[in-house]
Amino acid sequence: LQTELSETRTERDALQSELAEVEGAREILEAELATARSEQADLGEQRALLRVEVTELERELETTEAALTEARTEAAEKAERIAALETDKANLQTELETAQAATKAAREEVSDQAERIASLEADKAALQTEFEDAQAETAAVREEAAEALAETQGEVASLQSTLASAQAELNRVTAERDQIQTAAARELAALRAVLPPEEGGSLDAESARAAAAEPAQTLREAQQAMRRSGADREALEATIEQAASDMQRAQSLVSRTEGGTLYQVGEGETLSSVAARFYGEGNAWPRIYQANQHVLENPDQVWPGTTLVLP
């Protein structure tokens, strides 16, 4: 039994040793498996990168093909341009030959012009001499002109003074003329105002009556005042005299526009007595009243000094 136990222990130890080796091998395998998995992951990433690179290469290929097509097109265009340039070159060659011929002709012309310039230089020298002589003569003329200018300036100053005096006199005369024209215009307007249209004036019957009505009222008021006690008779008599005169002058304008005879009423006269005197009957007084309503308030009361127009 001890021998078997010893063998069993030996086997157990051997098994434990093998187990330890197996464990070590398992750990190694697990490590290798992890490494393999890591490598597999790296391979996946590399494959993805390769796919991206392939895609980019395909795009670059397409771009390259497009660029190649464009290059071919550009090459064709350049070939056309080269052909055009060849044509232009030929044309330029022709133009160059023409220009060379023109240059030759121009050189010949320059030679001719050089001869002309030499001739002109000689003429210039002669003209320079004449110019210097002219300058000397001009200097003398300028001196004479300066003296004449000084004399002329003195005369101009004198004339300006005379002109200023004349202008002042003209202004005075113009002012007097304007005053005379203004006064004449006023007098002409006043004269036209008292002349009928047939005599060149602007007087009409209505204006004439209105002009006569004012002194008639003044005369009437003064006559009424004379009949009051305590009146200043001397002043009223002067007023009556002036009003009668103004009224007579105004009524004469009415007579000139409407026709009729002027008559100044005396003390104690009435329209009936005036009608009887001029028309032969006193009942004709309404005719006088109608023609003089602008100066009469009441046909039954006619104040002495009143001027009537008898139609």
Question: Rounded to whole angstroms, how far apart are CA atoms 59 and 66?
Answer: 10
219 alpha-carbon distance from chain centroid: 65
Could you tell me the two tokens for 172? 């005075």
Distance CA 130, CA 15 (A): 147
Of the candidates 254, 165, 179, the residue with the CA atom closest to the CA atom of residue 213? 254
pLDDT given for residue 201 in this prediction: 53
Per-block mean pLDDT, blocks of 10 residues, the chain (311 long):
90 92 92 91 90 89 88 86 86 87 84 84 87 85 82 84 85 82 60 53 78 95 89 92 96 91 95 96 96 94 96 94
Work out the number of other CB atoms within 10 angstroms of the CB of residue 270.
Answer: 15
Backbone φ/ψ region at 304: left (φ over 0), alpha (ψ -120 to 50), beta = beta
225 near 239, Cβ under 8 Å?
Answer: no
Q: Quick one: pLDDT at residue 294? A: 94
Under a CB-based contact definition with an 8 Å cutoff, are residues 219 and 244 in contact?
A: yes
- pTM greater than the 0.75 cutoff: no
Cα 19 off chain centre by: 118
The per-residue pLDDT for 113 is: 87
Place of tokens 């009223």: 236
Specify burial of residue 186 (Cβ count, 10 A radius: 0-12, 13-18, 19+).
exposed
Q: What gap in Å lies between CA 31 and CA 277, rounded to an integer?
A: 175
Note whether 194 and 256 are within 8 A (CB). Answer: no
pLDDT at 197: 53
Closest CA to 294 of 237, 238, 213, 226: 213
Q: Are 300 and 238 in contact (CB under 8 A)?
A: no
Using the structure block, give the residue that is written with the tokens 């002067």. 238
Contacting residues for 220 by C-beta, under 8 A, at least 6 apart? 297, 303
Sign of the C-alpha dihedral computed for residues 64, 69, 70 and 76 taken in this order? positive
